[in-house]
Amino acid sequence: MASCPHILDCPLFAVFTMNAALAIWKINYCGSDHSRCVRYQLTAGGKEVPQNLLPNGKVLHLTPLPSR
């Protein structure tokens, strides 16, 4: 299965790379059925994506990731 095309620029992907324990997100979303990822769904619908939105829809409030 092809990976999510947004891997190259998704700020969360970079965050998941920083710790081995977070790799499970990459394996389960970015690298396989990325249509489940709510970030991907929002982007596909042309909507804005809150910076700290996790693929399963939960949001983290600490230290916002830098925006472009």
Minimum distance from residue 17 beta carbon to another protein (Å): 5
Q: Is residue 35 near another protein by the rule CB under 8 A?
A: no
Sign, CA torsion 58/62/66/68: positive
CB of 34 to another protein, least distance (A): 10
Please give the structure tokens belonging to residue 34: 């990325």
Q: Using the rule CB under 8 A, is 19 a contact of another protein?
A: yes
Cβ-based neighbours of 42, under 8 Å, separated by 6 or more: 48, 49, 53
Question: Which residues of this chain interact with another protein, rule CB under 8 A?
Answer: 1-15, 17-19, 21-28, 30-33, 36, 38-43, 45-68
